Amino acid sequence: MLTKKQQELLVFIDERLKSDGVSPSFEEMKEALSLKSKSGVHRLINALEERAFIRRLPNRARALEVLRLPDALKAEKPALSLVSSRPHPSQSTPAPPAVAMLAANDTITVPLHGRIAAGLPVEALESDQSLSVPSALLGPGDHYALEVSGDSMIEAGIHDGDYALIRKCDTARDGDIVVALINGEDATLKYLRHERGLIRLDPANSAHQPQRYSPDQVRIQGKLAGLLRRYH
């Protein structure tokens, strides 16, 4: 249960991220909530982070991500089932993809950059195609889409032929599902891990083996933000 000020701050951050793509400054938060000092903002941020409503993004100033909203706020929005994925590799039996209960009347057109391997790395294909995506699936930042090829992420709910929606970034945490460009030529979709000075790319399929590379061989090109699936 959030206090009134915690909820007000969460909504303010969420609306600013959706409108501008960046979180507000502590000064803007202080003014918006009519607080006397920034220390009050710090306390509210810490409380929201402890309750897993937000998280701080590493290596970026003013970088906050809204993870969820209170149920009371969600209930005010019309529902539509959309495939969205935040699986975790430690799950022995992966949970089904989360269903985002959000409005999807608005769509965003994102570039469709060919196919990406969810198996062994394949050449990353560029194209001039695009894909219309429900805006409810995408958070702040720039995004692009890739068609998934292969079955190495199937235990994370990512199937051959799915469209992976990728938020552009060049850094990621251990456990994130990332687009990794290997040796500047091949791209693959895998869990990211750091292991004894190496980059380990983990599949989500017991029939596949992890891939290990030196850090200079791997460049992060984005993190999985969601999935689209066509049913035939």
Domain of 211, CATH number, reads 2.10.109.10
**Catalytic sites, residue numbers:** 152, 190
Same domain, 120 and 221: yes
Q: Among 74, 103, 121, which residue terminates a domain? A: 74
Which of the four pLDDT bands, split at 50, 70 and 90, describes residue 201?
very high
pLDDT computed for residue 95 by the predictor: 40
Do 59 and 148 lie in one domain? The reply is no
Structural domain total, the chain: 2
For residue 141, what pLDDT is reported? 83
Instruction: Note whether 88 and 41 are same-domain residues.
Output: no
Q: Render pLDDT for 81-122 as a digit per residue (tens, 0 to 9).
A: 334 444 444 444 344 343 333 333 467 788 888 788 776 554
Question: Is 191 found in the same domain as 125?
Answer: yes
Model confidence at 211, pLDDT cuts 50, 70, 90, reads: very high
Domain that holds residue 111: 83-228
Q: Please tell me the pTM assigned to this model.
A: 0.55
User: What is the spatial distance between Cα 26 and Cα 31, in angstroms, rounded to a whole number?
Assistant: 9
Q: Cβ contacts of residue 174 below 8 Å, gap of 6+?
A: 192, 193, 194
What contacts 76, CB < 8 A, 6 or more positions away?
none
Q: What is the pLDDT of residues 159-173, one digit of tens each?
A: 988 899 999 999 999
Q: Which residues contact 196 (CB under 8 A, 6 or more apart)?
A: none
CATH code at 42?
1.10.10.10
pLDDT at 88: 44
CA 208 to chain centre: 24
- Note the pLDDT tens digit of each residue in 40-56: 888 888 888 888 888 88
pLDDT at position 61 is 53
Q: Is the pLDDT of residue 17 over 90?
A: no
Are 132 and 201 in the same domain? yes
pLDDT band at 124 (very low <50, low <70, confident <90, very high): low
